Structure 1
Amino acid sequence: MPLIHTNGIELFYTERGEGEPLVLLMGLGADGSLWEEHVRDYEQHFRCILIDNRGAGSSSEPKGPYTTKIMAADTIGLLDALGIERAHFSGISMGSAIAQEAALTAPERIISLTLNCSWAVCDAYTKRVFETLGNAYSLMEADDFQKLLQLIIYTPAYHEQHLQVLEAAQQAAFEQPSPMTIHAFQSQCEACISHHTMGRLGAIAAPTLITVGDKDIFTPLPLSLSIAEEIKHAEKHIFEGSGHTHHWDRLEDFNRITLDFLLRHREANE
């Protein structure tokens, strides 16, 4: 199994494709396999490294606290073990928070940075969302929790058009033989709540792309815009009518826009 010992834990990862390294960091409670619909395009041009963050998938589930800075250190340690000096970083939700910390603590390792549905610091609303999800995970059956999560991250329009897909995901969550432990999920929630890079992001010099859905009620649009205010050279793309899952809602557009950004900023182009 592709496990690397880093930062005191075993970190699971998979690799796809060849080219400049592209680190892919998924969000709260999710493992690296959820990048599949994006990697099909990315792997044609990049060496994609899909990571199960600590607590998720096949990686270790140590006791907390977890922080995005700790998880960034996990990721940099993985690159060290693989002998990779520099890589593109792309993160979705919590993964984007981890990517921010990686860019701040090890700027020399970053070729480019893609931040999707991100935040620099939780506002009161988003903090309460993470708190509620953490509590709900310990109290609800897996399929009911999946339904609650879907209501937060998918738009009403997506529900109307893809209800069978969402119901299938609920059933899959119910049948999951080895779900994420309560302590690991809650520790990831705590990492999201404690994430705080506001006031430091202006130090990021790497080419940066910010993507967000204007209907996102999990990490709302103003949180991404505040990042863009600090990283003044950042490009941004707002997906109108889409929510937290704009990367799936608008899959073809998302893949095209993010891949174009990555290709424009390959070191081989310089």
Structure 2
Amino acid sequence: MTTVTTSDGTRLYVKEQGGGDPLILLPGQGSSHLMWGRTIGLLAARHRVVVFDYRGTGRSDTPADGYSTRGFAGDAVAVLDGLGIGRAHVYGFSMGGRVAQWVAIDHPERVGALVLGATTPGDAHGVPRPAHVDERLGAGGDLTEFLHNPGWARARLRVEGVCGDWRAGTSQRAALRHYRASQAHDSWDGLASVTAPTLCVHGTEDVLNVAANSDLLAERIPGARVHRIPGAQHAYFEEQEAEAAEVVLDFLAQHPIG
């Protein structure tokens, strides 16, 4: 583990695992790198996986400013710079997928392949979530029932005794800043300029970011593909972790970093 300092002096907690082509993982709204759970190890079997805590989460600083999806993308590039990585695959989930879009738009030379998980181009152009889900999200309420199928969650509780809280350790103030950053995201005009090979992954039963958004992204990004995971809700990478990891690894293997 290490710390990288951004241009505005924010210290970001960074951790690496595995070897091979670099792959940076960008978690969801208000979440530290711990959100990725076992996925880190699955991907590290073939890649040098880089994870970090966004400003305001985990062990990173919580400054007053710098909270936007485009700003988080700049932080991700600062992490790559700090580790001496010129080019990496980029995999973002939910809000992290919005951040990943900006990395690919603003820093195309830094991106090998791009994986956009359960994400959208922003509310201005995206397919909206159901009203009751949107209300819960805006109020900062418990999103557990929208993350996983109830049967899967019950089985995990029986086996492991816990379902992890993705936002553990994130203050209410920082969580609100993350929410506002995610809601303000709009990459629509820039998506057509993305040159990285792109895969959009989505659970078919996602209500936090409905699956039709992956089709929108794939229509907008040249050559992008969509992979749907049947029956999975928002947290497809946990519910169907083996399939989710394998489809990403197979895609990245088709686009090695030279």
Alignment TM-score, normalising by the size of structure 2 = 0.90
- Tell me which residue corresponds to 1:47: 48
Q: 1:10 to 1:128 in 2, by over 3 A?
A: farther
- Tell me which residue corresponds to 1:253: 243
Q: 1:228 to 1:65 in 2, by over 3 A?
A: same
> Do residues 25 (structure 1) and 29 (structure 2) align?
no
**1:96-135 alignment runs, 5 A limit:** 96-122=97-123, 123=126, 124-125=128-129, 129=133, 132-135=136-139
> Do residues 242 (structure 1) and 232 (structure 2) align?
yes
C-alpha separation in 2, matches of 1:153 and 1:72: 24
Q: 1:130 to 1:16 in 2, by over 3 A?
A: farther
1:179-226: CA deviation from partner (whole Å, max 9, x where unpaired) = 211111000001110010113211111111110011000000111111
Percent identical pairs in the alignment equals 30
Q: Is the 8 A contact 2:147 2:235 kept in 1?
A: yes
Q: Is the 8 A contact 1:150 1:166 kept in 2?
A: no
Q: Is the 8 A contact 1:22 1:88 kept in 2?
A: yes
1:189 to 176, 179, 184: 179
Q: 1:36 to 1:206 in 2, by over 3 A?
A: same
Q: Is the 8 A contact 2:136 2:143 kept in 1?
A: no
Q: Is the 8 A contact 1:159 1:166 kept in 2?
A: no
Question: Aligned with 2:16: secondary structure?
Answer: strand
> Do residues 16 (structure 1) and 17 (structure 2) align?
yes
Q: 1:35 to 1:156 in 2, by over 3 A?
A: closer
How far apart are 1:39 and its partner, in Å?
2.0
Q: 1:200 to 1:128 in 2, by over 3 A?
A: farther
Structure number having the greater helix percentage: 1
Question: Aligned with 2:209: secondary structure?
Answer: coil
Across the two proteins, how many residue pairs are aligned to each other?
254
Tell me which moved more, 41-50 or 97-106: 41-50
Q: Is the 8 A contact 2:129 2:210 kept in 1?
A: no
Instruction: Compute the RMSD of aligned alpha carbons.
Output: 2.4
Q: Is the 8 A contact 2:157 2:163 kept in 1?
A: no
> Do residues 158 (structure 1) and 152 (structure 2) align?
yes
Question: Aligned with 2:75: secondary structure?
Answer: helix
Which runs of 5 or more residues in structure 1 are unaligned? 137-144
Which runs of 5 or more residues in structure 2 are unaligned? none
